[in-house]
Structure 1
């Protein structure tokens, strides 16, 4: 299956683009770097995993994609609390990371069984 056709990859990529745009003018370069690297890591690991030959490798990389999803969620929670983001978009993005994590878990289960 082409990874570009996976809804979880499409949504992860969209979220990464939104993070780059939302933090384009953030002067806290360390925070911005950590957040954007976590964001881009989600779809990148999905893509890498889906290009692997074995189901075991695919499932492993999808599991790897879940970790930066949680990291991104943490950065977004902090960004909202310290005033880097308004509450509404932060909450929407936080919920999207939760949904992406659930989608990844479902895909891992499907591939593993």
Structure 2
């Protein structure tokens, strides 16, 4: 299968869903009282999906992999923020588990794509379009 746009990447789709969920979770009164944490959480979630998209339009598998690693780190950052949210009683244990698992799924999908890229021929070296990836 050839991926022709970043919206077709499962990790991006899941990261988008995570960002939406984080925005919903941070609309509560507790987060209004802590706008810095709310901003940090939202930025980390958005960064995960944005780095996948930005990397897809890069010139090589190596460059794409660099952006995927940044996206994975952003998901890890979000997971770390979730501990503080739970410690401050901004979210319930159930919300923590759900959000943490969602971020873990994003990281797993990114990891799988990184493994694929490590073994795939680089489209830039084969004369293929820079915006297509074989999967």
TM interval, shorter chain, is over 0.9
By how many angstroms is 1:81 displaced? 2.1
Aligned equivalent of 2:107, options 101, 108, 111: 101
Stretches of structure 2 that go unaligned for 5 or more consecutive residues are 120-135
Q: Which residue does 2:27 correspond to in 1?
A: 24
Instruction: Specify the SS of the correspondent of 1:44.
Output: helix
Q: Which has the higher contact order (CA 8 A, sep 6+)?
A: 2
**1:112 counterpart = 2:118:** yes
Aligned equivalent of 1:6, options 5, 9, 21: 9
C-alpha RMSD of the superposition: 1.1
TM score, norm. by length of structure 1: 0.94
1:32-71 equivalences in 2 (<5 Å): 32-71=38-77
Q: May I ask how many residue pairs the two structures share in their alignment? A: 113
Stretches of structure 1 that go unaligned for 5 or more consecutive residues are none
TM score, norm. by length of structure 2: 0.79
The answer to whether the 8 A contact 2:22-2:99 is kept is: no
Instruction: Specify the SS of the correspondent of 2:99.
Output: helix
The answer to whether the 8 A contact 1:59-1:108 is kept is: yes
The 4+ residue runs of structure 1 with deviation greater than 4 A are none
